[in-house]
Amino acid sequence: MKFFICCRISVAVFQEIGDEKALHLIQDELNRPTLKKIEQLKRPKSYWECVTSDVAGPMYRSKEFNGFLFDSSRNIELKSHDLLEKPLQGKKQFARRPFIGFFKAKRFDFVVVSVHLKATGLDNEDLSRLQVRHYPWFTRTLFGLPVVSPTGNP
């Protein structure tokens, strides 16, 4: 079963990358395996590409990045990517800036969004509050709509 799943993945998202070169090391290993397990899982003719974001946020004693890893041999193309801008005013909405990738697979365009939300605590006690606060802001910002508060006020 593991082999089947690994061979079906075409796009992967990575968060909390501590070194902007780390994803390139994974890409290189997938394209030219040196580890026996990776060699066994490699799909013939697969070719992996990756992109790492600009700094998405702080990390203890470092900076944090996001990334996309995708199999271009499956006709997947990354058209563009960017980090969502920080709000000019008001409270920070996310723990890290969301990373957005605009992809094309043959004639199908799709968007992949990597969102790093604030931890909810041990018992998810903050989950509903965080969903109400962040989800409308994020979707409106993503699609260029006016941002309103959960109460409906701008």
pLDDT tens-digit series, residues 25-43: 999 999 998 988 888 877 7
pLDDT tens-digit series, residues 48-80: 999 999 988 777 888 999 999 999 999 999 999
**CA–CA separation, 31 and 33 (whole Å):** 6
pLDDT tens-digit series, residues 93-128: 677 888 999 999 999 999 999 987 766 555 556 656
Residues whose CB is less than 8 angstroms from the CB of residue 23 and which lie 6 or more positions away in sequence, other chains included? 14, 17, 50, 51, 52, 65, 67, 69
State which residues form the domain around 127.
Answer: 11-133
Q: What is the DSSP letter of 92?
A: -
Residue 22 forms part of a structural domain: yes
Please report, for the domain that includes residue 21, its CATH number.
3.60.10.10
Strands (E), 1-133: 11-17, 48-52, 57-59, 62-71, 76-83, 99-105, 108-114
Q: Is the pTM of this model over 0.85?
A: no
Amino acid at 140: R
Residue 42 forms part of a structural domain: yes
Residue 66 forms part of a structural domain: yes
Residue 5 forms part of a structural domain: no
Residue 113 forms part of a structural domain: yes
The domain total for the chain is: 1
